[in-house]
Amino acid sequence: MAPPADRFTRALLACGAAAPLFVPVLLAEGAYRPDYEPLHRFGSELALGERGWIQTANFIATGLLLLTFSVGVRRAAPTGRSSFALPALTALAGACLVVAGVFPTDPVGVGTAGATTPAGTVHAVNVLPFHAALTAAPLAMAWRLAAEPGRRAWVAYCCAAGALVPPLFAAFMASAEHGFHGLGQRVVLTVGLTWFAAAAWLLLRSTARKDPAPDAGGGKGVDGGRTAC
């Protein structure tokens, strides 16, 4: 049986696997709103109105999941490449989602264009560090995995996930003028949050392989007791 510390680490890591649930909630809430067009509206706009609490809760809950996951990442990969950058970037993404929930966007394209509030300004600026974290976290993981044998496929996936976010983000921002920014935003969120779930799965597998065995001489793994990715 794994010691309590390892079970606690796995519980923290499992929070990352739940992060992509943000997207189905976003899609379901968008489909429910009769006056909302998902392809042409930002997901943040769902936090407005009397049902806005659902998307607000979606932002905050997902952000807290990623913040919790970042603690698990730090515990599961305490040394080596990106041992600080990876959990820090994960925490940044989570914190940005919490900020997005606490500070709702200003209405866009609903007859109030041009009206700005302090909360809306914070929400708009917050978009930049969030997408920066979605870009940098997979690349930090790729850098870590590149030092381990047999990880080429994972390195390629992490590099692809990180490299896709900037052009996708630029594309959906550019498409705002043509009305398809809602679709682009959902694609970016799917790519980024799915990567966090994949990273959680990889770390969970790695910690499972390093459970102490009765004859393992004190429970050290193949790397001398460190938990690698």
Quote the CA–CA distance of 156 and 166 in Å, as a whole number: 17
C-alpha dihedral over 208, 210, 215, 216, to 10 degrees?
180
* Mean pLDDT value across residues 76-103: 96
Q: Mean pLDDT, the chain, as a whole number?
A: 87
Look at residue 163 and tell me if it is in a domain: yes
9, 76 in Cβ contact below 8 A? yes
Quote the CA–CA distance of 207 and 11 in Å, as a whole number: 11
Look at residue 220 and tell me if it is in a domain: no
Look at residue 224 and tell me if it is in a domain: no
Look at residue 226 and tell me if it is in a domain: no
For a pLDDT cut of 90, what percent of the chain falls above it? 71
Domain of residue 106 covers 4-209
Q: What is the pTM of this model?
A: 0.87
Tell me, what's the pLDDT at 111? 47
Give me 59's structure tokens: 């932002």
Look at residue 151 and tell me if it is in a domain: yes
Look at residue 178 and tell me if it is in a domain: yes
pLDDT at 163 exceeding the cut of 90: yes
Look at residue 169 and tell me if it is in a domain: yes
Q: Which residue has the higher pLDDT, 218 or 81?
A: 81
Question: pLDDT of 12-44, one tens digit each?
Answer: 999 999 999 999 999 999 999 888 888 888 999
Q: In the chain, how many domains are there?
A: 1
Look at residue 173 and tell me if it is in a domain: yes
Tell me, what's the pLDDT at 34? 86
Q: Which residue has the higher pLDDT, 211 or 96?
A: 96
